[in-house]
Amino acid sequence: MPLTPIQRWFFQNHSGELHHFNQAVLLRSKKRLDHNRLRTVLQKLQAHHDALRMTFQYKMDHTSALLETDIVQQNAGLEHPFYFQVVDFKGNPDEIALLTSHAQSRQKAFDLQTGPLMQAVLYRLTDSDRLLIIIHHLVVDGVSWRILLEDIEQGYRQAEVGSQIDFGPKTASFKQWAEILVC
């Protein structure tokens, strides 16, 4: 599928590490989260939002600037890898430092060619649970975060009461959106 204008700009102009260019949120829950429910919600989120299953294949060494023709953006199917981890730091004297170190390592762990470009980690701390969601900036922006976070909250509430997780009807696919932008 075609690259969007901002994706083209990224590959042509980004001078840093291509894989480590992401956005992240760290959410604190007032109550303990059920990791199985959360995993299911996040898997369904990745299935529902096409962009979260993107990979980017390139035809040259990515240490120099890439041209648009060097990049092949692919939307993986529902079998695309999914990353969710539960890390328990409860009772450790330096929980926040451990969380920070682990979160930084996860932010450096993206691979644009293989994905996944969304990772989630549920941290168990003594006082609360924290959910870290990291998504590569090639597939998320500020507007998208609002939608994704609303979907996660809605899906988790549905899972808590035993309902089927339903994010509502899909809108345009990422492919359709990209094609509109390049016309």
Give long-range contacts, CB 8 A cutoff, 24+ apart: 85-88. Answer: 85/119, 85/120, 85/121, 85/122, 86/35, 86/121, 86/122, 86/124, 87/121, 87/122, 87/123, 87/124, 88/123, 88/124
The CA distances from residue 174 to 53, 54, 171, 179, in Å, are 10, 9, 9, 9
Per-residue pLDDT tens for 3-14?
999 999 898 888
Q: Are 87 and 81 spatial neighbours (Cβ–Cβ below 8 Å)?
A: no
pLDDT along the chain (183 residues), means of 10: 90 86 95 98 96 87 58 89 97 96 95 95 97 96 94 98 94 84 78
Which CATH number is 5-163+175-182's, of 2.60.40.10, 3.30.559.10, 3.90.1720.10, 3.90.1580.10?
3.30.559.10
Per-residue pLDDT tens for 78-117?
889 999 999 999 999 999 999 999 999 999 999 999 999 9
Question: b/e string for 150-164 if b means 16 or more Cβ within 10 A?
Answer: ebbeebbebbeeeee
Residue 23 makes CB contacts below 8 A (sequence gap 6+) with 134, 135, 137, 140, 145
pTM metric for this prediction = 0.90
The residue extents of the domains of the chain are 5-163+175-182
